[in-house]
Amino acid sequence: MATSRWTAAAEAQPVSLRRRGLVLERAILDSALEQLSTVGWNGLTMEGVAAGAQTGKAAVYRRWPSKEDLVADALKAGLPDLADAPDRGSIREDLYELCRRMRGAMYSRPGFALRSVLHECDKGVAERFHAVILRQVIEPSNRLFREVVSRGIERGDVRPDATSDLVFDVIPGLMMYRSKVCGSEWPDEEITEVVDRIMVPLLRPVPTPAAD
pLDDT band at 18; cut points 50, 70, 90 = low
Tens digit of each residue's pLDDT (9 = 90 or more) over 127-168? 888 888 888 888 888 899 999 999 999 999 999 999 888 999
- DSSP secondary structure string for all residues of 76-125: HHHSPP--SPP--SSHHHHHHHHHHHHHHHHTSHHHHHHHHHHHHS-HHH
pLDDT band at 191; cut points 50, 70, 90 = very high
- Please give the Cα distance from 78 to 74 (Å, whole number): 6
Tens digit of each residue's pLDDT (9 = 90 or more) over 35-69? 998 899 999 999 999 999 999 999 999 999 999 99
Domains of the chain: 20-66 (1.10.10.60), 91-203 (1.10.357)
No. of H helices and E strands in the chain? 14, 0
Q: What pLDDT, on the 0 to 100 scale, is given for residue 1? A: 47
pTM score, whole prediction: 0.76
